Amino acid sequence: MSSKTCANCGTTLDADALFCHRCGLNLTQEYRATPIGNVKVEDVSDTFRRLREAIGTRYGIERELGRGGMATVFLAKDLKHDREVAIKVLHPDLAATIGGERFEREIKLAAKLQHPHILGLYDSGDADGLLYYVMPFVKGESLRDRIDREKMLPIEDAIRITLEVASALGHAHEQGIIHRDIKPENILLSGEHALVADFGIARAATEAGQQKLTQTGMAVGTPVYMAPEQSTGDAVGPTADIYSLGCMLYEMLAGEPPFNGPNAMAIMARHLMEQVPSIRVVRNAVPEEIEQAIFIALNKAPVDRPQTAAQFAELLSGIFGATSTMRVMRGTRSMMTPMPMTGTFTVPPPLPWYKRPETFWTAFGVTVASVATAFGLSQMNGAKAPAALSAEQRRIAVLHFTDASKDSSLGPVAEGLTDGLIRTLGSSSSVTVISRDGIEPYRNARLAPDSIARTLRVGFLVRGEVEPVGDRVRVSVRLDDASGARLESGGFSVARDSVLVLQDSIGALAANLIRGQLGEELRVQAQRIATSSPAAWLLVQRGIQEQRRAQALPGAEREPVWLRADSLFAEAQALDTRWAEPHVRRASVALTRARARNRNQQDEMRALSAESNAHVEAALALDPNNADAFEVRGTTAFFGWNFNLETDPARRDVALANALRDLERATTINRQQASAFSTLAAVYANTPGKTANDIYLAARRALEVDEFLATANITLSRLANATYDLGNSDAARQYCDQLYRRFPNDVRAWRCQLNNLSLPGAQPEIARAWTLVDSVVARTAPADTAHWRRTGNILAAGALARVSGGSGPLADSARRVLRRNVGDASVDQLRELAYYAAFVSVILGDREDAFRLLREYIAANPNKARILRDDPGWWFRAIADTPEYRQIMGSAQ
């Protein structure tokens, strides 16, 4: 059959095709020679010229990168920030249809999206009638490029890309933003990660009116990936994006989309009427469970699909990383042999949220019913709760399981079950589970259950007991409401040498008890135990007990307990040489011991850091995707950088880069790794090229995952500082207030209040500024009080400067405070005082003083020059474009 090429995207098409199935180009006689949007190829040079003339002083327009259904993309240089960017210019007829006001409104909405898998926006505007927006330039390829090259992607790559896109969509949907045009062309691949582009434009096009767009030959969305309700012009919601994402996953796996045709109407009709073809007909290596998840996402009616991106991700995340297990299961399913509990199991819902007779979740052979039968589930009673529960009612605290043995021999089992159940229930998106750090204060507290529930703001308490019964271990679990009244309970027993089955079976039991109160499905991820040795598992639990015991001891008494914990982990390591967990635990102990040393013991710090890294290497050799191992190694590298364990500047830079790499790897493997996100925020704060927004996103994620994080005070302080640096006054005050409410005696809670007095638009009370200085100094360690007295005085001068407007008696007072407190290198070796004083000088309008002070600061901290050059923040934005500022920040390079 003869063929032709799409003039817009280059796709090979049948000779009689009336429509490009990839980019949407209308190929009828009226439009045949014209790419989408009526932008002829020869017109691009005029666009290039007009764009260069309009914004050439800010951006050096270099060349066209490509054209799509709605815009032309140019490579450019951001002259101010010395970085490559991509500038997307809407095709003229689309720009005319949308209009400048609507475009600006939608771009502002899209610009608020901050997510690791969403391509951000730098700038936008109207350049001589051309509507444009500026994005980071991604040095990689689009998913379309990769599919065109490889046809079918590896299954795990396809699932990983889909999960990352789902995460991005979930974030956007929470903000009320629907993408409307999810397709491979809008997914950029940078390194191993996916970035979703073009939020907001399809929505703007939709609002402009379907009829106008049809007249210009443009489709809102791309028919190959378009949900049925979208093609018929009905209202669309998050499920439309999920449908498109399902189509995209189908294409990644099958090498072609689920529906195709010679024109847009034919494709849309197939989406509306035809059954989705089986992927496994063309690629039988695709597990049935993945195919089933795609079928669910591609249901015709929106109500029958996953209602959120998180639900679709849950369908896939249980499969990801367990492909080989599922392949075995497909071959043995007819034997009806129960599979080990290493995947995801589901508590059956009263009513399904999608209308299919079966789902892949049952394929694991680990329903709660089978667990109940195998382990003697008892006393399943209690009335169902109301159908709809508030967010607080959906919060659950798993209290420490009680060891009912006379000799406390089951203590490690009780500890391990408590930890495991927190992780298991925490894997569900239906409930919020208080972390281990959150329940730790109530380990031995003699408080009534309702008091604990009220303090933790939870709707349910899970309590348990472990007791010996002959040669067996019996576990009892009860679910209480917030008043402490028992709602439901259950229990089972296993042989003492079968304790490894306890963790997953207790998770299934507890999930079923909770499901009875939620009145809906509760999916949880079974916790894989990678050892077959009960003795090794018990040794690790005993070691963890010792680690926790050490935390409660005075400093001098901790070392022997840490050594005892290390010895227990070493025994476990010897019992099961293929288990990574003991190695990771030993690495953690070594790092903890290194951090307990003081600055005069750097040789010991180096030796213990090396020991920690050796254990991590052993762990990663056994488990290359162990998030805990990457976190420990990244934290160790940052610890070494922070304490100058490497004296050579180049080696220090390598240490910081290694910390960044490993912590980002840990948080990519496990998005629930709260402590890794917290440390990553600290690394971002010291990494050139990273911004206050990067710090904010990492710190926010840490507290989203675990509000009771051990370093919650530091993380809240980072959030307060990051939002302060971003000039977001409301958020800075909000996080500072949270910090003060939760940690009123932490000096950081007082420092952020002092900082906030100098926020733009602030009209602080001068008397309060000086009171805050006294409060900060009173809570500062004695060795640092002199430095913080000077720092506090300078920040109070910032309040004076803000109120004065830069002139008059208050401004003169501010200048006198600066002169008295800025000091020199003899009192401030790193010249942080000069840095703060430079900021206050900018407020006062004293630019020469600001430049002089910044020179002092950069001379003492040359590594900060690049950070301040790339991101001067609102402190120095007023002088960032001056030759003096550029010279100061460039002189240290």
Active site amino acids: 181
Determine contact, residues 535/551, Cβ cutoff 8 Å: no
**Which two tokens mark 171?**
């974030």
User: Could you give the count of Cα atoms lying within 13 Å of 2 in the half-sphere of its Cβ?
Assistant: 3
Say if CB 312 and CB 293 are below 8 A apart. yes
CA–CA gap between residue 439 and residue 401 (Å, rounded): 11
Residue 863, token pair as written in the block: 């590594």
Q: Give which of 199, 1, 14, 222 is closest to 111, Cα–Cα.
A: 199
For residue 170, which phi and psi values (nearest 5 degrees)? -60, -40
Token pair of 297, please? 């996402």
Query: d(Cα 798, Cα 761) in Å, to the nearest integer?
Result: 12
Q: What's the CA gap between 567 and 572, in Å, rounded?
A: 9
Cα 495 to chain centroid, rounded: 41
* Closest by Cα among 193, 199, 231, 190 to 214: 231
Q: What are phi and psi of 840, to 5 degrees?
A: -65, -35
**Is residue 491 within a helix (H) or strand (E), and if so which, with residue range?**
strand 486-495
Q: Quick count: other Cβ atoms within 10 Å of Cβ 228?
A: 20
Can you point out the beta strands (E) in 499-658? Answer: 522-525
Q: Is 300 annotated as a binding residue?
A: no
Helix (H, G, I), strand (E, B), or coil: what is residue 398? strand
**Do the Cβ atoms of 36 and 91 come closer than 8 Å?**
yes
Q: Considering only CA atoms, which of 514, 511, 505 is closest in space to residue 474?
A: 505
Contact present, 388 and 354 (Cβ < 8 Å): no
Q: 180 and 203 in contact (C-beta within 8 Å)?
A: yes
Strands 472-481 and 522-525 come out as: unpaired
Cα–Cα distance, 692 to 698 (Å, whole number): 10
Please give the full DSSP string across 21-50, using - where no structure is assigned. Answer: TTT--B-STTTTTS-GGG--TTHHHHHHHH
**Which positions ≥6 away from 698 have C-beta within 8 Å?**
667, 677, 678, 680, 681, 684
Q: Quick one: tokens of 274?
A: 């035809």
CA distance 26 to 34: 8
Q: Give 117's contacts (C-beta < 8 A, 6+ positions apart).
A: 164, 165, 167, 168, 193, 194, 195, 196
Please give the DSSP secondary-structure letter assigned to residue 479: E
Gap between the Cα atoms of 714 and 239, Å rounded: 38
How many Å apart are CA 609 and CA 636, to the nearest integer? 6
For 121, phi and psi rounded to 5 degrees?
Answer: -120, 130
Select from 725, 738, 712 the least CA-distant residue to 685: 725
- How many other C-beta atoms are found inside a 10 Å radius of the C-beta of residue 551? 11
Q: How many CA atoms lie within 13 A of 489 on its CB side?
A: 12
Distance CA 660, CA 666 (A): 10
Q: How far apart are CA 386 and CA 407, in angstroms?
A: 43
What is the Cα gyration radius of the chain?
A: 30
Pairwise CA distance, residues 426 & 843, whole Å: 47
The three-point CA angle 419-702-606 to 5° equals: 80
Strand partners, 141: 189
Q: Which residues are annotated as a binding site for ATP?
A: 88
